[in-house]
Amino acid sequence: MEKRQREYLFDNYKVLLIVLVVIGHFIEPCYDQNPFLYELKWGIVAFHMPAFIFISGYFSKKVPSVKKLVGGLVVPYFVYEVIYYLLYTFVLDKETELYFTRPKFTLWYLMALCVWRLAAPVVRKFPCHFPISVAAGLAVGLFGIGNFLSIPRIVFFFPFFLAGMEFDSAWLARFRNRKGYAGALGILGSLAVFLFTDRYHHKLSVKIFYGRYSYEELELSTAEGILIRVICYAVSFLLIYLFMLVLPSEKKSYSYLGERTMAVYIFHGLIYSCLKYSSSILGSVESNAESILLILFCIVVVWVVSRKPFVQVTNKIAHLV
């Protein structure tokens, strides 16, 4: 059987996204202390996880075997939950429990990915499954479920996974040209200017993009919550497609990092937890110079935890079964 040609556009896309994931987490304790970091946080949360989930859906077109799901997602989830528990309890002296039904930090994504891959082949058999998934994403905001089984996030982000499964990269050929590139850059630039000049979004919380919180928890009425969530969906999908038009589709010197995002995703969380709970350094960032140094530090973290030893650990855990 002919080996599928690697699509470097998505490798390059994943490199950008994993860098934004790390930056988004590390600036969490301090983003509201610096105007640039504040707007950067909004820009990151508006599309980094939706885009990651979209790409995950794109590469999940084949129905996975139970063994692959268990070995690649279920077992690693339990292993990393135990690792986080041991870190929090015996190293960082952070009060916690070994929940399993309430994922710690970034581990909700492993649980969600397992559910999406199981549910999507069934859901896609129903007519109008995509608008129904969007409606469910809007409806889940009515309930204060909390972090139990990551249900709110799983439901909220499911449309992005489904859209990724439906997406055909050949659709980009018509727009990936000089005119499309310039147009996409122009729109992205306009959105960036809007972000840094608009003041209405300052009245809201960046958590509107998290998918985890109910409208009540976000201090929004039902009508406001639904309308804002519809806008969030629209903005996220727009950004996902715009970046597809401007990112390079050929192999780059950094493209290999796109194959190592799981190692970065897991291990950066452990580093972040250590810094967050054992010191006040992340919460003390205020000036532009400190902000730039923090962003540079995040890039170094990405490079370090994408090295082979970390990748080998994640690969071995993913192949325990």
Report the SS3 class of residue 140.
helix
Geometric angle at alpha carbon 320, from 265 and 89, rounded to 5°:
55
Q: What is the pLDDT of residue 4?
A: 62
Highest mean pLDDT (candidates 172-181, 195-204, 297-306): 297-306
Instruction: Please give the residue that has the higher pLDDT: either 302 or 4.
Output: 302
C-beta separation of 38 from 32 below 8 A: yes
Amino acid at 176: R
Structural tokens at position 75? 């077992």
> 46 exposed, middle or buried (CB, 10 Å; 0-12, 13-18, 19+)?
buried
Residues 142 and 221: their CA atoms lie apart, in Å, by 10
pLDDT higher than threshold 70 for residue 69 = yes
pLDDT classification of 117: cutoffs 50, 70, 90: very high
Q: What is the tens place of the pLDDT at every residue in 248-259?
A: 999 999 999 999
3-class secondary-structure state, position 277: helix
Specify the pLDDT at position 290. Answer: 97
* pTM (two decimals): 0.95
Mean pLDDT value of segment 157-168: 97
